[in-house]
């Protein structure tokens, strides 16, 4: 348990931030509520008596420094991360504390690796970008499916979402990423990101039962095309999205609606991973409810492991590189139904 240590949550009153605050409390940490809007912070503090709210802005480094005083780690839930990522990593490095974020933006995650790898390593601390549903979970599953392989020819990560009602933050991040790409698409092929204008293919993906065969959009690139190749030698990495969820995202006509006491929506997901080397395939998958809600146990488990010394490296590292991936997934079993290879079940 968290032993009452303070963990700062930037963007605490956002949809994902609220799940993270609740998860930290459940695990015995004391969240520090950080954000740029004093009124929204106060409202959240009133709903969480005893928690401290600290206003801070990414345009004001001193305010970030004050907000991080006494924090053992910071989780950044405020996106678009193109705006918030670098200032928060800088502040975490100044404070000498680990940094974890939930960024789904491909370019923002590339920036975090590119700009902070050396300084984070030199500081002996760890910076974990995309420690969430997109980027983190797929990387943990790919790493687990790989088992003793250190390289593979291909990795495929298929997102079986029954629906996707995006938050304001998701939509804003999509707009920013689209602008950064000049309206182009991106995929990971030949060992690098490639920008292109091709139409995305529609295919059929056979998810584990009960979902079964579903129409998916191929090259629907998510943060996994940054996190996975950051530590695994796989030249071809492709992500897929159920056509239904991709359609919902484009329509963007409603936000998530809570259907249970935890605030989760009725959305269900399966993340199905296949890695191929020569003629051999290995698979792993995880199923659960609500892609925003599941991001909280992912980010908080990461912080807990960092603060209890259960890490494999320092610097900027994705989930699969910094943690024991099968063990991490097992720890999430209250939240995820796992189908992982026999030799990694422990
Ligand atoms: N990788 C994943 O699987 C995953 C999972 C969940 C979320 N995310 C990402 O996390 C981000 C938040 O998502 P959400 O669902 O929580 O959205 P949300 O409910 O709209 O919340 C967005 C939060 O970000 C804050 N924010 C935005 N720009 C800011 C800035 N420049 N400075 C300070 N705070 C800022 C907002 O504060 P104000 O209200 O003051 O604007 C709000 O607290 C998005 O980028 C989303 O893509 C990724």
**Which pLDDT does position 262 carry in this prediction?**
93
For a mutational test of ligand 1's pocket, the pick from 101, 159, 167, i.e. the residue with the most ligand atoms closer than 8 A to its C-beta, is 167
Segment 260-301, tens digit of pLDDT: 999 999 999 999 999 999 999 999 999 999 999 999 999 999
For a mutational test of ligand 1's pocket, the pick from 169, 175, 225, 241, i.e. the residue with the most ligand atoms closer than 8 A to its C-beta, is 169
For residue 198, give the DSSP letter.
Answer: P
pLDDT for residue 190 is more than 50: yes
**Which pLDDT does position 346 carry in this prediction?**
39
Kindly state the helix (H) or strand (E) to which residue 23 belongs, with its residue range. Answer: helix 15-26
Atom of ligand 1 nearest to the CA of 134: 3
In this prediction, residue 254 has a pLDDT band, given cuts at 50, 70 and 90, of confident
Ligand 1 pocket check for 164: Cβ under 6 Å: no
Atom of ligand 1 nearest to the CA of 223: 1
Instruction: Identify the residue whose tokens are 């890695």.
Output: 275
Ligand 1 pocket check for 77: Cβ under 6 Å: yes
Atom of ligand 1 nearest to the CA of 18: 16
Mean pLDDT value across residues 115-136: 98
pLDDT for residue 343 is more than 70: no
Residues 6+ apart with CB under 8 A from 38: 53, 55
Q: How far is CA 248 from CA 92, 160, 171, 218, 321, in A?
A: 36, 13, 12, 16, 32
Whether the Cβ atoms of residue 223 and residue 106 lie closer than 8 Å to each other: yes
Helices 291-307 and 15-26: crossing angle in degrees, nearest 10, is: 50
Length of the chain, in residues: 346
Q: How far apart are the first and last CA of the chain?
A: 22
Kindly state the helix (H) or strand (E) to which residue 143 belongs, with its residue range. Answer: helix 138-146
CA–CA separation, 44 and 290 (whole Å): 22
Residues 6+ apart with CB under 8 A from 217: 200, 201, 202, 203, 240, 241, 242, 243, 246
Report CA 19 to chain centroid distance, whole Å: 13
Atom of ligand 1 nearest to the CA of 83: 31
**Which pLDDT does position 157 carry in this prediction?**
98
pLDDT for residue 341 is more than 80: no
The SS3 assignment for 147 reads coil
Atom of ligand 1 nearest to the CA of 13: 43
**Which pLDDT does position 196 carry in this prediction?**
97
Residue nearest to atom 46 of ligand 1 (CA): 170
Instruction: Identify the residue whose tokens are 């991709």.
Output: 246
Quick one: what percent of the chain has pLDDT higher than 90?
Answer: 95
In this prediction, residue 58 has a pLDDT band, given cuts at 50, 70 and 90, of very high
Ligand 1 mean position, distance from CA 25 (Å): 20
Residues 6+ apart with CB under 8 A from 62: none
- Which of 60, 52, 65 is CA-nearest to residue 95? 65
Residues 6+ apart with CB under 8 A from 342: none
Mean pLDDT value across residues 99-122: 98
Mean pLDDT value across residues 158-184: 96
pLDDT for residue 113 is more than 90: yes
CA–CA separation, 319 and 286 (whole Å): 15
**Which pLDDT does position 5 carry in this prediction?**
97
**Which pLDDT does position 146 carry in this prediction?**
98
Q: What is the mean pLDDT of the chain?
A: 96
Helices (H), 48-195: 61-67, 81-95, 106-122, 138-146, 168-180
Show the tokens assigned to 160. 């079986």
Decide: residue 65, CB within 10 A, 0-12 exposed, 13-18 middle, 19+ buried: middle
pTM higher than 0.75, yes or no?
A: yes
CA–CA separation, 290 and 113 (whole Å): 28
Ligand 1 mean position, distance from CA 52 (Å): 20
Ligand 1 mean position, distance from CA 324 (Å): 28
pLDDT for residue 123 is more than 70: yes
Atom of ligand 1 nearest to the CA of 37: 40
For a mutational test of ligand 1's pocket, the pick from 8, 9, 14, i.e. the residue with the most ligand atoms closer than 8 A to its C-beta, is 14
Residue nearest to atom 24 of ligand 1 (CA): 78
pLDDT for residue 345 is more than 50: no
In this prediction, residue 344 has a pLDDT band, given cuts at 50, 70 and 90, of very low
Ligand 1 mean position, distance from CA 169 (Å): 4
Ligand 1 mean position, distance from CA 210 (Å): 32
**Which pLDDT does position 342 carry in this prediction?**
57
In this prediction, residue 253 has a pLDDT band, given cuts at 50, 70 and 90, of confident
């Amino acid at each position: 348990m968290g032993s009452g240590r303070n963990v700062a949550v930037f963007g605490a009153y956002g949809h994902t931030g609220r799940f993270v605050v609740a998860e930290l409390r459940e695990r015995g940490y004391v969240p520090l509520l950080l954000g740029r809007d004093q009124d929204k912070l106060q409202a959240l503090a009133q709903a969480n008596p005893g928690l401290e709210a600290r206003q801070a802005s990414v345009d004001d480094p001193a305010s970030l420094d004050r907000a991080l005083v006494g924090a053992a780690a910071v989780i950044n839930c405020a996106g678009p991360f193109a705006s918030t990522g670098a200032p928060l990593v800088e502040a975490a490095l100044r404070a000498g504390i680990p940094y974890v974020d939930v960024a789904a933006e491909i370019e923002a995650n590339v920036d975090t690796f590119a700009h902070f790898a050396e300084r984070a390593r030199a500081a002996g601390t760890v910076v974990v970008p995309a420690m969430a549903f997109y980027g983190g979970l797929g990387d943990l599953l790919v790493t687990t499916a790989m088992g003793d392989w250190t390289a593979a020819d291909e990795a495929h990560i298929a997102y079986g979402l029954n629906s996707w009602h995006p938050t304001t933050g998701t939509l804003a991040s999509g707009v920013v990423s689209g602008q950064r790409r000049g309206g182009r698409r991106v995929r990971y092929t030949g060992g690098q990101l490639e920008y292109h204008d091709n139409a995305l293919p529609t295919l059929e993906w056979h998810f584990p039962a009960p979902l079964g065969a579903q129409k998916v959009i191929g090259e629907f690139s998510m943060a996994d095309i940054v996190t996975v190749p950051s530590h695994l030698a796989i030249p071809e990495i492709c992500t897929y999205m159920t056509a239904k969820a991709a359609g919902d995202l484009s329509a963007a006509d409603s936000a998530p609606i809570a259907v249970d006491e935890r605030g989760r929506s009725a959305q269900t997901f399966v993340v199905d991973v296949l890695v191929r080397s020569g003629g051999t395939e290995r698979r792993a998958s995880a199923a659960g409810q609500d892609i925003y809600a599941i991001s909280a146990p992912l980010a908080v488990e990461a912080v807990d492991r960092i603060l209890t010394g259960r890490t494999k490296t320092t610097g900027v590292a994705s989930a699969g590189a910094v943690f024991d991936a099968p063990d991490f997934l097992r720890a999430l079993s209250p939240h995820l139904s796992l189908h992982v290879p026999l030799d990694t079940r422990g």
